[in-house]
A = this chain, B = another copy of it.
């Protein structure tokens, strides 16, 4: 569906569209779209509409990775086992394609094809914009950069990771519930689920960064230590970090207690997140 929405117009903008596709299509674990579509399915949301919202959140995730890889950021040459965006298309197009992917996300969400209910469309935009901006993902990225070479404690690292990675994962679950017209008070246990798997995901990421396989990851590893970044593994050690991730995964599953088998995929995702090897 990404494919159909990102069609080259047949003029000098084709490189832009190709760059957007390079960044957003055919790589990565698709965890955010999966969480969104799975949560939406619990509330009998039309699958095409859920997939459109999933494309929007993946576009935001993809733009953030593409910009993260820029020379003035982490300067990474590989992403998802292929050249990172600026290596493939140059820095200028990488910056612009990232910006265009962010606009694309909000264009898709605000389109009546994503929901016939304008309240749902506006709320989807609000949840994604809050989660990805200065008070969400980007705020966490800045905290992360500011923390380089600093001796952050566990609460500080938890807080920055909750913003940097957790906010968008929580948004994925919340957007599924928004599409299902679940009111805010009925979404709080899902937010708690998402908060816990978000942290578990980050701890698992830190574990993979410290002991994982670069070929499976499709990107350079062991960069956190080199950049002087404080991680969960650095603070807790590998064994306690692994145990903490497992506890968070169990706690996430416990938040789904009111749901029956319709939540089984969310439960499986909570387990997968801490058991994955890439």
Contacts and interface: CB of A to CB of B under 8 A. Distances in A.
Most chain B beta carbons < 10 A, residue from A111, A133, A145: A133
Interface residues of A, number: 56
B133 A110 contact: no
Contact of A110 (B95, B126, B142): B126
B111 A133 contact: no
A111 B111 CA distance: 17
A261 interface: no
Contacts of A133: 100, 103-104, 107
Contacts of A141: 96
A194 interface: no
A139 interface: yes
B96 A142 contact: yes
A44 interface: no
A209 to B, nearest CB: 20
Interface in A122-160: 122-123, 125-126, 128-130, 132-136, 138-139, 141-143, 145-147
Contact of A142 (B15, B98, B121): B15
A274 to B, nearest CB: 28
B95 A107 contact: no
A139 to B, nearest CB: 5
5 contacts: A9-B135, A15-B146, A109-B125, A118-B119, A125-B125
